[in-house]
Amino acid sequence: MVEKKKELLYWAQRTEEAGLCIPKGGNFSLRDRESGLILMTPSGLDRSNALPEEISVLTLAGKWIDGNKPTSEYQMHLAVYQEREEIWAIAHTHSRFATVLAVWEKPIPPIVYEVLMLGGEVPVAPYGRPGTDDLAEAVRRTLKKSDVCLLAKHGVLAGGSDCGDAFLKALYIEETASIYYHALLLGQGVEPPRLSLEEVKAWKYPELEKQKDNLT
């Protein structure tokens, strides 16, 4: 369990260093594959000096059993794990361009191939006050068919197969949001051309065979 706590802290720190959230902003969690317990960054944690023993530990039902008091948005994390058994880690960030779009409740359309990493259009979960059942249920409904979403008036949530995967998806969301934002500026508010989901899903790595070295 200690190693899992260290892993969670590592990726939470990486997310802050990447500029996806400011100090003490956002929150992160993972589901331990052996115990099924949920490890979560605590409320108001200074990630730069955090210790593994400070990481909050909860049951899937929401019982706090170890570590510091969990983030006030713990219900949102638990709702995702309860709904999606294949999600093992969550990154919740407040990255700049994605949050601008979230303020306007504007989904990110498939305009570049990077959306393949995100499953297509990035949807927006309806507004719910942070730390409430309303937000948790809004996210639960939205993530029935997507691993990622914007949170209306709030930020970003990305679920993944592990912490690194959730981190990478959060990065891709911000990158794609920035491209979309600037495309709208360049087009003076006109929506940029979109890739069809069929086109995005049709992409595959080109055939390539490794050639044996004939040098003797």
Question: Backbone phi, then psi, for 39, in 5-degree steps?
Answer: -100, 135
From the candidates 16, 73, 83, 121, give the one annotated as an active-site residue: 73
Helices (H) and strands (E) in the chain, counts: 6, 8
d(CA 93, CA 167): 10
Do residues 113 and 200 lie in contact, with contact meaning Cβ atoms separated by under 8 Å?
Answer: yes
The residues that bridge with 40 in the sheet, in sequence order, are 29, 56
d(CA 99, CA 155): 5
d(CA 182, CA 7): 35
d(CA 75, CA 73): 5
Residue 73 annotated to the active site: yes
**Nearest alpha-carbon partner for 84 in 26, 17, 157, 134:** 157
Q: Tally the C-alpha atoms within 13 A of residue 57's C-alpha that lie toward its C-beta.
A: 14
Residues assigned a catalytic role: 73
